[in-house]
Amino acid sequence: MNSIKQRTERERAERAAENEGLPTLGFDSATPYDDYVGTAVLHRLQRTVTDAPEELAFLVTTQVMELYFGLLRSEWRLAQRQLDDDDAAAAITTVKRSVRHFEALNAAWSSLSWLTPAQFNQFRDALGEASGFQSAYYRHVEFLLGIKSEAMIRPHRRNPEAYAELVDALARPSLYDSVLAFLARNGFAVPRQATERDHAAEYQPSQQVEAVWAEVYASPLAPLAEALTDLAEQFSDWRYRHLMAVRRSMGAKPGSGGSSGMTWLERSMRREIFPELWTARTLM
């Protein structure tokens, strides 16, 4: 339970005056900062399995990425609710904010960009079959971006909570589905096959939707299109940086989770999100 005592603007000013401008140094228990952030819990989560000094950076970076996956999931779900309420301005703000989160997520790859095969090999065997491919939160990110596949939820069958959430996410509309439904409700000629479809299936691009985006760019909703394009670009950057990190640290070796490694990632990069946002540019 959160034990932080709330403070008003007036109380903060009074405390600053009492302290003569210095920070408060005495507390009855843990500092309010530690209570709020949960620092003790966070730092206990770094349980390395080898003595290799490089492993801690690998583990911390991976954990940071997991936190960002959860943050992106929360933001895009919010954007979907805002679109469902036909609040385009709020949805655009949320998507733009998530682009900044994605920039920070992509920057995290810098913490692993130095990892050589010799350094990775010091702890790779100890990871067993653990692989980022198995991240349930990353799978949520992909599902929300419209990259749907029933096969990708199978690794989580032994984790009832994660599996149930992924089954639900697979069947729900993606962020792009929510955007198209919003456009249809607001007078754009989005074809019914794009809005009334099996959301668990892979989205199929449409020339009619392509034409819709060309119209959107000529309307006050153009900022929505650009915010989504920024998001798609960040996701492409994520995939590229992931591929380069793998190429640098292990080359073309098989992946820890049973995949072909680099070849698998290269194939995954070809599955584009928000496809008509890109092709519509030819019509403008």
124 is in an annotated binding site: yes
Concatenated DSSP letters of 104-118:
HHHHGGGGTTT--HH
Region 162-166: what's the mean pLDDT? 94
Long-range interactions of 264-272: CB distance < 8 A, separation 24+: 265/239, 268/239, 269/236, 269/239, 269/240, 269/243, 271/147, 272/232
**Ranges in the chain annotated CATH 1.20.58.480:** 53-283
* Alpha-carbon gap, residue 171 to 148, rounded angstroms: 9
Confidence of residue 36 (pLDDT cuts 50, 70, 90): confident
Identify the residue with better confidence: 1 or 76. 76
- Write down the residue that tokens 């392509």 correspond to: 210
Angle, helices 222-250 vs 207-216, to 10°: value is 120
Region 43-65: what's the mean pLDDT? 95
Can you give the pLDDT at residue 254? Answer: 64
Can you give the pLDDT at residue 41? Answer: 92
The second-level CATH assignment, the architecture, of 53-283 is Up-down Bundle (1.20)
- Our CA angle for 249, 251, 253, nearest 5°, is 110
Region 88-110: what's the mean pLDDT? 97
Can you give the pLDDT at residue 199? Answer: 96
Can you give the pLDDT at residue 242? Answer: 86
Please tell me the pTM assigned to this model.
0.90
Confidence of residue 258 (pLDDT cuts 50, 70, 90): low
* Alpha-carbon gap, residue 93 to 254, rounded angstroms: 41
Distance between start and end Cα atoms, the chain: 55
* Alpha-carbon gap, residue 263 to 234, rounded angstroms: 21
Can you give the pLDDT at residue 260? Answer: 56
Token duo for residue 177: 């589905």
pLDDT in tens, 134-147: 899 999 999 999 99
Confidence of residue 2 (pLDDT cuts 50, 70, 90): low
Q: Check if the beta carbon of residue 110 is closer than 8 Å to that of residue 236.
A: no
pLDDT in tens, 172-231: 999 999 999 999 999 999 999 999 999 999 899 999 999 999 999 999 999 999 999 999
Sorted by sequence, the CB contacts under 8 Å of residue 154 that are 6+ apart come out as none
Confidence of residue 262 (pLDDT cuts 50, 70, 90): low
Can you give the pLDDT at residue 27? Answer: 80
Token duo for residue 221: 């909703």
